[in-house]
Amino acid sequence: MFDLTGMNALVTGAAGGIGSAISRALAAQGARIALSGSNGSKLRAFREELIAQYGGDHVEITCDLSNTTQVEELIPATIDTLGGIDILINNAGVTRDNLAMRMKDEEWGDVIRINLESTFRLIRAAARPMMKARFGRIITITSVVGSTGNPGQMNYCAAKAGITGMTKSFAQEVASRGITANCVAPGFIRTPMTEVLSDSVKEALNTRIPMGRMGEGADVGTAVAFLASREASYITGQTIHVNGGMAMLG
């Protein structure tokens, strides 16, 4: 598809449903990956699986995105381990769903800190080495609800919408240095989280999707691999929506 051989990538939330699909898509095209997440044993198991399937010398770096110190150390640790960073995939995130009138300050703060603030910190830290190299690809996973809103997810929607605006601003700041910054916004994707839903709930969700089914993690991974490639050099500040037509956004 797209040759990422020789490129070093950091993927946050790398062992999760969408994160693992993104990691596989990048590894399949030859990228060397620093797999990051908060569960060290899960990361190690996925790293072994990735190497067995695609080869390569991938590494894992444990990081709790709610810990500012660990977030600030993640990009330097990636560069020390891989020797550089060409691709940053901000994928990790959390939800703390509640109706607005019942939402606790902690539920708001956790989602903003982990989903929005940590993304800002990682982009800021990656900018300097990428500017020096005059090349970089920054891709952040947002969500269809960042554009449409969703009841009970005011905090999550605010964070995802904030990432979109932040990405557009950053893209303008670094475009002349060969760095692109884009978002991929999934709709309903089949992951271990959605698999626990009842059949009736899944059927109700599928009626909202013109294609009549949930997407696969690989659908998101393919979009990310394209944006990470050299062939996507003239695409920046954009959001690719991967939602089966559920929301047809301009």
Active site residues: 156
Block residue for tokens 């606790």: 104
Burial 84-99 (b: 16+ CB within 10 A, else e): bbbbbbbbbbebbeee
- Decide: 36 and 10 in contact? Cβ < 8 Å: yes
For the chain, the helix, strand and coil percentages under 3-state DSSP, each to the nearest 5 = 50, 15, 30
Contact by Cβ (8 Å): 190, 215: yes
Strand partners, 61: 36
Return the residue matching tokens 């640790």.
77
C-alpha closest to that of 128 among 162, 176, 177: 177
Single out the residue of 58, 2, 14 nearest to residue 38, CA to CA: 14
Which residue type does 206 have?
N
In the numeric block, the tokens 């956004």 are attached to: 249
DSSP-assigned letter for residue 117: I
Q: Which residues of 205-236 are buried (b: 16+ CB within 10 A; e: fewer)?
A: beeebeeeebbbbbbbbbbbbbbbbeebeeeb
Alpha carbons 212 and 118: distance in angstroms, whole number = 35
